[in-house]
Structure 1
Amino acid sequence: MASSPPPPHALLVSAPLQGHVNPLLVLGRRLASSGLLVTFSTIPHAGLKFTHADGEATDIAGHGTLRFEHLQGGDLWPPHDPRYLVNGGDTLRHLEDAAPAALAGLIRRQSDAGRPVAVVVASAFAPWAGRVAAGEGVRHAVLWTESCSVLSLFYHFFHNLAGDFPSDTTAAAVVSVPGLPAMAAGDLPVLIHAPEQFIWRQVLVAELHNLHDTASWLLVNTFDELEHEAIEALRAHLPSITPVGPLFDPDVHGDGHGDAAAAAADDDYMAWLDAQSPGSVVFVAFGSLMRLGADETTELVAGLAATGRPFLLVARDKNRASLLSDDCLSPAAITGGGGRGKVVAWCSQGRVLSHAAVGCFVTHCGWNSTVEALASGVPVVTFPAWGDQPTNAKFLEDVYGVGVRLPRPMARCDVTRCIDKVMGGPEAAAMRERAGRWKAEARAAVAAGESSDRGIQGFVDAVLALGAAADD
């Protein structure tokens, strides 16, 4: 009896940036559990919480296998190169130059090993992956890792579809884009105002050309109930747009960062959370790239201490070193000295947000953090800095109704006031109720047969059909 052919092979390719790796990993697990052979590829480095070894394969709850093969060789910087840690823009520029040859080689090696790639799924801001796939005769999809609303703003701006956009963030003009609320200049994604020579903007423009001209599928880390109007309006221009989120799985321990040190850290802060009262903890995390200045850090910690509430603060690198040696921590009386605050260098954000003790999330409003907060039902205090963060903050406060904006510059009295408003003020109960509704909507979207599950299954069915056609 002839053996059945292997399932079609999806090669997932992520730029080596944490906000790209995390949602693509979750998508990879879901695709593998739906019947595809899935290989995940990126460039692990010291600044990335990613410990899967080259050649590793992990079982997806008995329903499939997720393989890992690193992008490497040629002119790519090796994983230990310190330049990955310095500037994300420099990394993007380097990938534009060096990654195409590495990816083309990986695709060819898969074919030589009897695993021909049926589709390349690339994270956003990696347009080189689509170009390589097309050159190798392979269909490709893009996972857009920001909101559909942000994508719509970019699309309308760069294709001149919504009149004049304001020239800078202080302009008084209001932007009207189909499917979106009226947007003030300060609510727009920062790249709209960035100079043309800025590498992130250049890569974005290339990605928008990919989406319109060459990508067969556009998968978005959102769900229909969250952005229905924006999705439907944008389909007039990008008909393949498919919501597949939230790409958030707090039940996967450590979000894929399975080393012993991370596990020990998990045990420490999770035990601390277990000892706190339900809904009492202020969780503060500003993503993998944002850095606070010394004065901002001092104001933040003093404001947290003044709330009288327990807090879990993620402080990286120099921020953490200055915290642990500076007098700004003394009023907070960090845990271990009998106080309410706990400072960690890293945590599994999804596990923390899903913990019953967490009652508020102070966030930079990256889209992953925004989606995770909504899917966990946690109200927020927003402190956006760049990228898509101002737009996400606008939606969290004014559209989703689950938070308040912390003004700039950071001041301790504002930190205390905003946290108190979200956790105990007159509007706190309504915010918690709305956050709970978004949690239910998010969990429902990925349930079997619901909107995002249908989106993923539709994509899987299309790739299975590619495999069947190739076998004929």
Structure 2
Amino acid sequence: MGDGRTRGKPLVLVASPFQGHMTPMLQLGSVLHSKGFSITIVHTKLNSPDPSNHPEFTFLPLFDNFLAIDASANFTKFCEVLNNNCKMQLQDHLTRKIKEGKEANDEMNQRITIIHDNIMYFVEEVASNLNLPSIVFRSSSASYMPAFLALPKLHAQGQLPVQDSMLQKLVPELYPLRYKDLPFNKTSTELAKEMFALAEHIRAPSAIIWNTIDFLEHSVLTKLRQHYKIPIFAIGPLNEMARGPSTSFLKEDTDCISWLDKQAPKSVIYVSLGSLATMNESELAETAWGLANSKQPFLWVVRPGSVNGSEWIEFLPEGFTEQVKGRGLVLKWAPQKEVLAHYAVGVFWSHCGWNSTLESISEGVPMICQPWMGDQCVNSRYLCYVWKVGLELENLERKVIANAIRRLLVDDEGKEMRQRAISMKEKAKYALCKGGSSFNSLNNLVEFILARF
């Protein structure tokens, strides 16, 4: 626990309803609780976490009036409504908490620090109104940020939306990114303007916490510190710092572990494209036959509804199940951290969300990269071109898929990539040890928060 100075001091963590954001926020809460802070998790009713998994936290639900996240809907409009619906509820709650602290002469409950997900930008206004310090938590890669910050200028120059002829060309001043790696590279000018306006809402946090590791993104973090001119604390990977219960919104099928137990070491490709990505029937068929034709064992996550209009796997091509019987397992959702840590898993075919990327790096598992949206294209480029522990899937075509799987599971190329991945795993572990970059950064964050009490 903490050193006594932190004991019971209140931190309010405001999470967003996206799986890729909620998971690291809960992990951050666990890490800070281990340092002695009292943690309140503020969350939306949509995709709310299970309080029974975290009895050490206080939970405060905000009524957001959403039933689900529609991945095809206008993201900026969703965020705008979400922030508008939650703002006064949080302000009223914190106002009451501070008033109760004053009446009880409890100085601690008057001096709250708020840490908020960058999507929940309304928090900054609430913190300003109540004269409370606010810290932004970013659950994306640091390398995504320079690309996002460059988008308004690229739009103004007429380089976005990206023309097909430009996709493979390098973006000036954003090496090693190509135009195809830019986030939202096909976004219309009108929607892009809305997104930039959204980003402008976050103006004056006192610091930024980033779920990353210094050795992975050192040069980018240096540039971001120069850009923001506030402290940036790189304290990842949080998935390794906080070994708590599952934070998944979907029910995990843990039976797959006993199936993995029967497979040879480093022989299985694990396929999971995250909690939001969707595909059509044709893409499902190409994926299925690519896995079948690779002749390698596979564990494939197909979410209900991940194929438009499907209940689950009724759109799998005829004859596929028979052809892969005994060699492949299709399931609705997997305990990903446990799967990636299993000795049988040799490759992770991923959408390259940042949590999945960090989890794969933490376990030394090379990746086949099929990014879908947001920061995923940036992450994929770094995995494949800079860190060299990933293979970009250029086309979702069965021959390309089967070839990529064999390259990484069977050929020497995969063995060399696995060696690099294991080396990165060791560096990530060292970062968390006493004297390591993330260990030091976490202690610096604690000191920073205490200095504001």
TM-score, L = length of structure 1: 0.84
Contact 2:267/2:297 (<8 A) preserved: yes
Q: 1:142 aligns with which of 129, 132, 136?
A: 136
Two-structure CA RMSD over aligned residues (Å): 3.0
Q: Which digits, 9 at most, give the CA deviation of each residue in 1:114-160, with x for residues without a partner?
A: 434521111122211222211221111111111111112223444x5
Partner in structure 2 of residue 184 of structure 1? 178
Moved more, 446-455 or 24-33: 446-455
Task: Give yes or no for contact 1:26–1:249 (8 Å, CA) kept in 2.
Answer: no
User: Which residue in 2 is equivalent to 1:202?
Assistant: 194
User: What is the aligned partner in structure 2 of residue 278 from structure 1?
Assistant: 265
Give runs of aligned pairs for residues 324-363 of structure 1, distance below 5 A.
324-326=313-315, 328=317, 330-333=319-322, 338-363=325-350
Q: Quote how far apart the aligned CAs of 1:246 are.
A: 1.3
Is 1:32–2:33 an aligned residue pair? yes
Deviations 1:14-52 (A, max 9, x none): 11111110111111111111121111121243xx38322
Residues 156 and 4 (structure 1 numbering): CA distance in 2 closer, same or farther, change over 3 Å?
Answer: closer
Residue 168 of structure 1 corresponds to 161
Amino acid at match of 2:444: G
Asked if the contact 1:71–1:106 (Cα under 8 Å) also holds between the matched residues in 2, the reply is: no
**1:348-390: CA deviation from partner (whole Å, max 9, x where unpaired):** 2222112111111111111221222111211111111221111
Does the aligned pair in 2 maintain the 1:36–1:460 contact within 8 Å?
Answer: no
Q: Which amino acid aligns with 1:215?
A: P
**434 and 462 in structure 1: CA distance in 2 versus 1, 3 angstrom threshold:** same
- Give the superposition deviation at 1:319: 4.1
Question: What are the equivalent positions in structure 2 for 1:41-440 lying under 5 Å apart?
Answer: 41-45=42-46, 48=47, 50-52=49-51, 58=55, 65-72=56-63, 76-77=64-65, 81-82=67-68, 87=73, 89=75, 90-112=77-99, 114=101, 115-116=109-110, 118-158=112-152, 160=153, 166-169=159-162, 170=164, 172=166, 174-177=170-173, 181-190=175-184, 194-198=187-191, 202-203=194-195, 205-208=197-200, 210=202, 213-239=203-229, 240-249=231-240, 252=243, 254-257=245-248, 262=251, 265-266=253-254, 268-319=255-306, 321=310, 324-326=313-315, 328=317, 330-333=319-322, 338-408=325-395, 410-440=396-426
Q: In the alignment, is the contact (CA less than 8 A) between 2:349 and 2:370 conserved in 1?
A: yes
Q: Does structure 2 retain, via aligned residues, the 8 Å contact 1:284–1:313?
A: yes
CA distance in 1: counterparts of 2:244 and 2:388, whole angstroms: 30
CA, structure 1 residues 446+325, in 2 after alignment: closer, same or farther (shift >3 Å)?
same
Post-superposition offset of 1:307? 1.6
CA separation of 1:295 and 1:447: change in aligned 2, threshold 3 A? same
Alpha-carbon displacement from aligned partner over 1:439-458 (angstroms, at most 9, x marks no partner): 11112212233111221221
Deviation string 1:305-326 (CA, Å, 9 cap, x unpaired) is 1122221111112347566334
1:252 deviates by 3.5
- Measured in 1, the distance between the counterparts of 2:6 and 2:311 equals 57
Matched positions, count: 436
Secondary structure, counterpart of 1:31 in structure 2: helix
Decide which moves more: 249-258 or 339-348: 249-258
Distance between the aligned counterparts of 1:125 and 1:252, measured in 2?
25
In the superposition, relative to structure 1, how do residues 35 and 197 fare at CA in structure 2: closer, same or farther (>3 Å)? farther
**233-242 or 299-308, which deviates more:** 233-242
Offset, 1:329: 6.2
| TM-aligned CA distance change 1:386 to 1:257, over 3 Å | closer
Which 5+ residue runs of structure 2 have no aligned equivalent? 102-108
CA contact (8 A) 2:160 2:189 kept: no
Relative to structure 1, the CA distance from residue 124 to residue 365 in structure 2 (aligned partners, 3 Å threshold; closer, same or farther) is: same
Instruction: Report the counterpart of residue 12 of structure 1 in structure 2.
Output: 13
Bigger drift between 323-332 and 276-285 goes to 323-332
Q: Is the CA contact 2:154–2:160 (under 8 Å) kept in the aligned structure 1?
A: no
Q: Does the 8 Å CA contact 2:161/2:188 hold for their aligned counterparts?
A: no
Show structure 1 runs of 5+ residues with no match: 59-64, 468-472
Hey, what does 1:61 align to over in structure 2?
A: none
**1:324 partner SS:** coil
Deviation at 1:67, TM superposition (A): 2.7
CA distance in 2, matches of 1:161, 1:295: 34
Structure 2 length as normaliser, TM-score? 0.87
**Aligned partner (choices 431, 437, 449) of residue 445 of structure 1:** 431
Instruction: Output one character per residue of 1:256-279: Cα deviation in whole Å (capped at 9) or x when no partner.
Output: 359xx946x32x122222222211
Identity among equivalent pairs (%): 27
